Structure 1
Amino acid sequence: MVTGHVPARRITGRPDSALIGPVLVLATLVSSVISSFGAPLIPTVARDFHVSLSTAQWSLTVALLVGAASAPVLGRLGDGPRRRGTLLGGLAVVTAGGVVAALAGGLGLLLVGRGLQGVGLGLAPLAMATAREELPQAKVAPMIALLSVSAGAGLGAGYPISGLLAEAWGLAGAYWFGTIVSGLALLCVAVVIPSSAGRGTPRRLDWTGAVLLALALVSALVAVAEGTQWGWGSPAIVSLLAVGVVLFAVWTVQQLRAGHPLVQLRLLRHPSVLSADVCAMVLGVAMYMVLSGVTEFVQSPRSGGFGFSASAVVAGLVLIPLSFLMLVSSRILPALVTRVGIRAVLTLGCLVAALGCGFFAVFHGALWQAFVMSGVLGVGLGTTFAAIPGLIVQSIPARETGSAMGFYQVVRFTGFSLGSALTATILAAHAGGNGEPGVGGYTMVLWCSAGFCVLAAALAWFLPARSTRLAPEERLPADEVRLVEQTDGDDILS
């Protein structure tokens, strides 16, 4: 992530300074590895812990939930003199989470471990900020681009690898692998990354805002995920929804009044920022509904009249076209924007993503159709998610870039979490007598995803997206804008 404030770089000249870049790449891969332990392993979690798929879905949702709440906290803690310590602390928490998940004897303990691992979802921006501070000017842009590519490539490889490990050594084996990777990254960061003490003044952390945001998200997501099983009209669900709404309202007021808020909600006064963030949240919901639904569908036994009895490895392979084509399509964004304009790119990208969802909702009789859907979805999401950050940062003063991207992170992870929770409640509503979802549940997930993509297209086209008039000295340089598009476009799955 590109921040509005660029600290003075201090190049140490130590013998190990050449290792800073590779170590940051390794640390960035951790967030990709953590994400790869989500969707493809849900059926394995359900089988090993003897729970329904909708309940096992929490192994993904809880990590995304923690990512939504912890990303702005890590960003604020990692500002200036606390950056190295925050990076080390985040990796330590992720490593501990891997141990807890690997040793879990029940679903509750597994969710604790997965929640701790979710902290890793906020590490990539810290690594990129460290690269900006520790590397020479000439190496910053190439390294940030490499970190971005590493996040996307690590995710693409992580899906089948996690499935392969789970198939060979069980679910615990996959989590032990994640523990080893994050532990290795922790050790390398401790040895190689220089201290950031004394570099600037640490910014105050809005703990009240962080707690309110976490409680609001938990209340809302539990209600959405469990609404079908507990009953949408039950006192528990109604109370949770009401509490969630009230907490979000309180959090909004608190953020607007705080001297050092967790996120700058006032940035939503810019029309482009508002439209881009709303579009990002809706797309995030759609994307994680597809990720969850398709990986579970392909692993469903053929004896049920649908599915392909695929392994977790194959389910992971299905998502590689999505990851690869998101990376490729984000690289052609500048040419597309020059030719048709940003609003058309966003709208068309959303519609392409909707086409992919609709295709598999209609044609799901062969495994190759899942690969086609994944690729089409990757093209649509790659262009849209890469375009959104550029639309935001070109509409605000450069000094507000860090705050705007911090809020964008909260928005997109909230969308991811909501998409995962919605998948759980839809599949639970279409469960058969054996407790397993029927084909109607999966097609409903896909049609809902397509509908969300169409909604995002309408928002991109009709919501006001005019840019605020900025003086030349207030604008973020063009090369910085491209870096924002590349980093927040490519590692969107991380």
Structure 2
Amino acid sequence: MSSLDDLGQKRMLAALVFAGLTVSVMSTLGTPLIPTIADEQHVSLDTAQWMLTVTLLVGAIATPVLGRLGDGPQRRRVLLVTLGSAFAGSVVAATSTRFPQLLAGRALQGVGYGTVPLAIALTREHVTGDRLRSGIAMLSITVAVGAGLGFPVTGLIAQTLDFHAAFWFGAIFAAAAFVSVALAVPRATGEAKRVALDVPGALLLAGGLASLLLGISQGESLGWASAAVVALFAGAAALLAAWVHVELRRDAPLVDLRLVSQRAILGANVAALLLAMGMYIAMSLVNRLMQTPESTGYGFGATLVTTGLMLLPLSLGSLVSQQITRRVIRRYGIGVVLPAGALIVAATLLWLAVAHGRLLDIAIATALLGVGVGCSFAAMPALIVASVPEERTGSATSLNQVLRSVGGALGSAVGVAILAAHHPAATPFPQESGYTIAFLVGAVVCVVTAGLAILLAPRRRPAAVVAPRFELEQELLMEEAAVGAGVGPSVFDGERRR
């Protein structure tokens, strides 16, 4: 059982959620600042885009490794190292005078992508009862909440202050998150088996993800059919195939592929990839649409601050989604939440395809996007945690996090590619039809996501293996589910079985 009393669990959850929000907000520092940094650092816009690419690459590579290390007894220490790296990266970027130093800082910030999987693993270790479910759900939506909060703050800083101020802002919050976690999360007690890091698997996965994400991020500028991009995608396929081959033959793999092939986990991971794609099609296009001049006949000519404020309803919708999710689970069960959330995101994108001419339309759409994403993202870790033993929580949830990152990068690239296809050579901006088609493509992706979530839903309750000390905890969760307060027996009942 947990060594923390009720107040201690509340404090720990508050610290972990704050850490997740901090890293999520920090991840938004790049996009609004790109034009400013390109101008002040005397680099092209394409070069400045590496601020986003390098953070994504490091995050995708580091997250599975951090998640696996978080499967062991030192997950608190691993989380502190992660937050320390995010703080150091913020300071390096804030004091940068040259672009390479700025890139180094953004690379260090990318290590922070591993924060949420580690926080979920710590929550499962130390939190009991109904707070376990609600804590995991809240941690899972910090990405959406943080994005909605981060864009207006970053826009305000970019519009009124030097770009260095944005990174000092990130450094202050990263330091506060580090201290909060250090004070609120207890050290590991007792004996626990140390994990063996699968170095060959880590190197193959890192190479495969790096090639894949570089191909996606450079496809628009170099050309999707260019030799370099094709080579990157071919290299990614070869390296990832080799990774699967190695992982299936390791006694202690980086990611247990046999475990994650269970229907519940597979459905959550497929949904993570596709739903993130739909989410980032919406977010990236709304960002562009808001800043497009009114002279085009469809843009708003908004400032960075106004653009950020139009994404603020995303945070509010994500928070509201938690109450909606509880009611849906109580009435229909956890299996309905994931496809329902995907359908809400699909409806949002359909709304944007046919109604994006008023600020009210955009505000309603981003709020609905937050509800759909919040419902779905809350269901994913619940399905995963219910299906894996405690000692695999970090690595299993980190894979889900990586797939969200890949899906987000793919969604942004698809949106940009569609706009480029509807961009006449003689005009500085794409045709409005490009936005309509891109939103429709995103809606189709989310409908497919809902269908796959239904097909891959577990036909019976997930049969996970958990340590005996969690049995009472799961008893409490299922009792609460029976009266409508928990996540439902379809999620947690299997955790009692050995």
Q: TM-score range by the shorter chain?
A: 0.7 to 0.9
User: Quick one: higher RCO (CA 8 Å, sep 6+), 1 or 2?
Assistant: 1
SS at match of 2:161: helix
Name the structure 1 match of 2:215.
Answer: 223
Name the structure 1 match of 2:452.
Answer: 459
Q: How far did residue 451 of structure 1 move?
A: 2.2
**Is the CA contact (8 Å cut-off) linking 2:387 and 2:464 kept in structure 1?**
no
Q: How far did residue 17 of structure 1 move?
A: 11
CA pair 335-459 structure 1, distance change in 2 beyond 3 A? same
Please give the alpha-carbon distance, in whole angstroms, between the structure 2 residues aligned to 1:346 and 1:477: 24
Name the structure 2 match of 1:96.
Answer: 88
CA pair 54-326 structure 1, distance change in 2 beyond 3 A? farther
Query: 1:124 aligned to 2:124?
Result: no
Query: 1:299 aligned to 2:285?
Result: no
Superposition map of 1:51-450 within 5 A: 57-104=49-96, 109-130=101-122, 154-187=146-179, 189=181, 195-196=187-188, 199-340=191-332, 342=334, 344-394=336-386, 401-431=393-423, 433=425, 437-440=429-432, 441-450=434-443
**Is the CA contact (8 Å cut-off) linking 1:325 and 1:378 kept in structure 2?**
yes
Q: How far did residue 119 of structure 1 move?
A: 1.6
Please give the alpha-carbon distance, in whole angstroms, between the structure 2 residues aligned to 1:152 and 1:130: 21
Please give the alpha-carbon distance, in whole angstroms, between the structure 1 residues aligned to 2:392 and 2:348: 35
- Aligned counterpart in structure 1 of residue 477 of structure 2, from 471, 476, 479: 479
1:131-184 CA distance string (max 9 Å, x none): 565679898677667767877655543331222122221322111210222133
Between 409-418 and 22-31, the greater mean CA deviation after superposition: 22-31
CA pair 161-451 structure 1, distance change in 2 beyond 3 A? same
Please give the alpha-carbon distance, in whole angstroms, between the structure 1 residues aligned to 2:288 and 2:462: 48
- Aligned counterpart in structure 1 of residue 25 of structure 2, from 33, 51, 64: 33
Name the structure 2 match of 1:4.
Answer: none
CA pair 190-343 structure 1, distance change in 2 beyond 3 A? closer
Q: How far did residue 50 of structure 1 move?
A: 6.7
Please give the alpha-carbon distance, in whole angstroms, between the structure 2 residues aligned to 1:17 and 1:276: 27
SS at match of 1:306: coil
Q: How far did residue 241 of structure 1 move?
A: 1.2
Please give the alpha-carbon distance, in whole angstroms, between the structure 1 residues aligned to 2:138 and 2:35: 33
Q: How far did residue 350 of structure 1 move?
A: 2.0
Percent of pairs with identical residues = 43
Please give the alpha-carbon distance, in whole angstroms, between the structure 1 residues aligned to 2:104 and 2:285: 23
CA pair 238-148 structure 1, distance change in 2 beyond 3 A? closer
TM-score normalised by the chain length of structure 2? 0.81
**Is the CA contact (8 Å cut-off) linking 2:291 and 2:304 kept in structure 1?**
yes
1:223-265 CA distance string (max 9 Å, x none): 2232233233322122111101101101111111122211111
**Is the CA contact (8 Å cut-off) linking 1:204 and 1:260 kept in structure 2?**
yes
Question: Structure 2: which amino acid aligns with 1:308?
Answer: F
Question: Structure 2: which amino acid aligns with 1:169?
Answer: L
**Is the CA contact (8 Å cut-off) linking 1:263 and 1:406 kept in structure 2?**
no
1:31-64 CA distance string (max 9 Å, x none): 2322332544455556656777676554334433
The gaps in structure 2 that reach 5 residues or longer are 489-498
SS at match of 1:220: helix
Please give the alpha-carbon distance, in whole angstroms, between the structure 2 residues aligned to 1:32 and 1:469: 32
Between 293-302 and 195-204, the greater mean CA deviation after superposition: 195-204
**Is the CA contact (8 Å cut-off) linking 2:217 and 2:409 kept in structure 1?**
no
Q: How far did residue 444 of structure 1 move?
A: 4.0
**Is the CA contact (8 Å cut-off) linking 1:11 and 1:136 kept in structure 2?**
no
CA pair 131-162 structure 1, distance change in 2 beyond 3 A? same
Between 195-204 and 283-292, the greater mean CA deviation after superposition: 195-204
**Is the CA contact (8 Å cut-off) linking 2:334 and 2:379 kept in structure 1?**
yes
Between 198-207 and 463-472, the greater mean CA deviation after superposition: 463-472
Name the structure 1 match of 2:496.
Answer: none
**Is the CA contact (8 Å cut-off) linking 1:358 and 1:450 kept in structure 2?**
yes
1:288-344 CA distance string (max 9 Å, x none): 222222112212233444322222222221122122212212332243244445555
Q: How far did residue 103 of structure 1 move?
A: 4.0
SS at match of 2:197: coil
**Is the CA contact (8 Å cut-off) linking 2:216 and 2:413 kept in structure 1?**
yes
CA RMSD in angstroms, aligned pairs only: 3.9
Question: Structure 2: which amino acid aligns with 1:264?
Answer: D
Q: How far did residue 197 of structure 1 move?
A: 7.8
Question: Structure 2: which amino acid aligns with 1:479?
Answer: L
**Is the CA contact (8 Å cut-off) linking 1:128 and 1:147 kept in structure 2?**
yes
Question: Structure 2: which amino acid aligns with 1:218?
Answer: A
**Is the CA contact (8 Å cut-off) linking 1:77 and 1:86 kept in structure 2?**
yes
The gaps in structure 1 that reach 5 residues or longer are 1-7, 486-494
**Is the CA contact (8 Å cut-off) linking 2:271 and 2:453 kept in structure 1?**
yes
Q: How far did residue 106 of structure 1 move?
A: 5.7
Question: Structure 2: which amino acid aligns with 1:453?
Answer: C
Between 409-418 and 475-484, the greater mean CA deviation after superposition: 475-484
SS at match of 1:205: coil
Please give the alpha-carbon distance, in whole angstroms, between the structure 2 residues aligned to 1:471 and 1:457: 23
1:394-435 CA distance string (max 9 Å, x none): 556677655533332232222223223434444455555589
Between 247-256 and 223-232, the greater mean CA deviation after superposition: 223-232
SS at match of 2:275: helix
SS at match of 1:410: helix
CA pair 425-47 structure 1, distance change in 2 beyond 3 A? farther
Q: How far did residue 65 of structure 1 move?
A: 3.5
